[in-house]
Amino acid sequence: MSQDDEESCDVIVVGAGAAGYAAALAAHESGASVRLIEKCGPDSAGGNTRLSGGGWFVSRSPERAAVYLRALSEGFPLPEDVVATWARETALNSDWLRGLGAQIETSDSVHTVPEYPELDGSDCYAGMDTVDGVLGSERLYTFLHNAARARGIEVCYDSPARELIEDPESAEIRGLVVQRNGAEKRLLARGGVVLATGGFEADADLVRTYLGLADVVRWGTPANTGDGLRMAQKIGADLWHMQSAMTITGIRGEGEAGYYLAMPRAVGPHSYIYVSPDARRFADESAGPRHGHVRQHGRYERFPMQSLFVIFDENLRSAGPLSPPPDLLPIGWQALMKGYHWSHDNSIEIERGWIQRADTLAELADLLGLDASRLEQTVEAYNTACHTGVDHQLGRRPETLHAISQPPYYGFHAPPLLGWTNGGPGATGARECWIPSARSSPASMLRAR
């Protein structure tokens, strides 16, 4: 490569999500010249930030937030300087965005209470803020993008970063090799390179290796394939918290991007159960999801970590969409990038074969590859619990015990919907190396679990 291939600036930021924009804006604020490098084109750049709810944790007290984070990460302790930085900075998020010109409002309908209220420190939680008081709809991404643009920070699109350039003598990071227009280009940075390339949720091999998940569908961007992790590993970084991720109940349509399955929050009839491949119930279906965990069997468990089958009846089928369409929940790849609008009565998804329908439970079991008599027994036992009002087997909440009794019956195979992964280069590795989490992300509260 010749000198002509090289450009230089003070700081290179890799990845145009919330973390990347926050780093770029902060570097610019302190007078640095910044280059923001992005793998995707303008239509799909923005990573999970663009597809997210765009809401962040509002902290009432940095001291109590530190207590909460320690409690959330019990068993997976974080260095105290990380806890302190997180607690201090998350309390400043909304004011920082206001300072950039954002209109911020606290949600009065979503995430109004702490997700883990029984943990020490949860009283730090003061709700969730969003740009303009709007959930999702690319609001946070659009604001950050425009704020950067207004300050002359341009994004270099379609430029995947390939590797870090190390000084052979001092081992300091001098820059980055990117792929652009089919050729490799060296970009040099006088003040450092910030890796903000998101997680590895879109890389099936890494998901298998670190999360132990063989069968998942993706909720967010296909661009987050762990590139930053690999680049950091190549220069000697250790990884940490690689097992930490957010899964929730999902449904597969076609391809690798799935749909959020709103079962646990179903309004109206709750005439459904989850069964495993042996056609038995195994989980309290009414346990509310807490970003990757549910409380059941007397403890927090990661859930779902396996594919399951959802079995339900006509009462639930006709009560509304199993996956909220974009006008109800404007988040996720399918809703925002593909514009998929789940049918209001689930009829289109049944026609497409995403959901199986049968007149009897035995026929449904055959369609799903389940043992027919076992499924009949399972539903019978569940319906008895509905009749008595007590689920002795799994402790499902009584108000959700609605019998599966109205044919036709429906079912589908439901892999975990993988939203995001939380691990990355650690601060305690052979080389200090950071992939910052988005300043604006309340999910960072759960990252350490």
Q: Rule CB under 6 A: which residues touch ligand FAD?
A: 14-20, 37-40, 45-49, 51-56, 160-161, 196-198, 219-221, 223-224, 227, 331-332, 419-420, 437-438, 441-443
- Of 85 and 384, the one with the shorter C-beta distance to ligand FAD is 85
| 136, 330 contact by CB (below 8 A) | yes
Shortest distance (Å) from residue 274 CB to ligand FAD: 22
Residue 404's contacts (CB-CB under 8 Å, 6 or more residues apart) are 271, 272, 273, 311, 312, 313, 379, 382, 383
- Of 178 and 403, the one with the shorter C-beta distance to ligand FAD is 178
The Cα 174–Cα 99 span in angstroms is 32
Phi, psi for 143 (deg, rounded to 5): -65, -50
Amino acid identity at 48:
N
The Cα 287–Cα 65 span in angstroms is 25
Residue 70's contacts (CB-CB under 8 Å, 6 or more residues apart) are 77, 78, 83, 121
The Cα 395–Cα 410 span in angstroms is 24
Residue 61's contacts (CB-CB under 8 Å, 6 or more residues apart) are 91, 123, 124
The Cα 20–Cα 198 span in angstroms is 9
- Of 220 and 292, the one with the shorter C-beta distance to ligand FAD is 220
- Of 51 and 67, the one with the shorter C-beta distance to ligand FAD is 51
Shortest distance (Å) from residue 101 CB to ligand FAD: 20
Shortest distance (Å) from residue 290 CB to ligand FAD: 13
Shortest distance (Å) from residue 196 CB to ligand FAD: 5
Shortest distance (Å) from residue 139 CB to ligand FAD: 10
Q: What tokens appear for 188 in the block?
A: 């040099």
- Of 323 and 378, the one with the shorter C-beta distance to ligand FAD is 323
Shortest distance (Å) from residue 193 CB to ligand FAD: 11
- Of 56 and 125, the one with the shorter C-beta distance to ligand FAD is 56
């009560």: which residue's tokens?
A: 319
- Of 14 and 72, the one with the shorter C-beta distance to ligand FAD is 14
Shortest distance (Å) from residue 244 CB to ligand FAD: 12
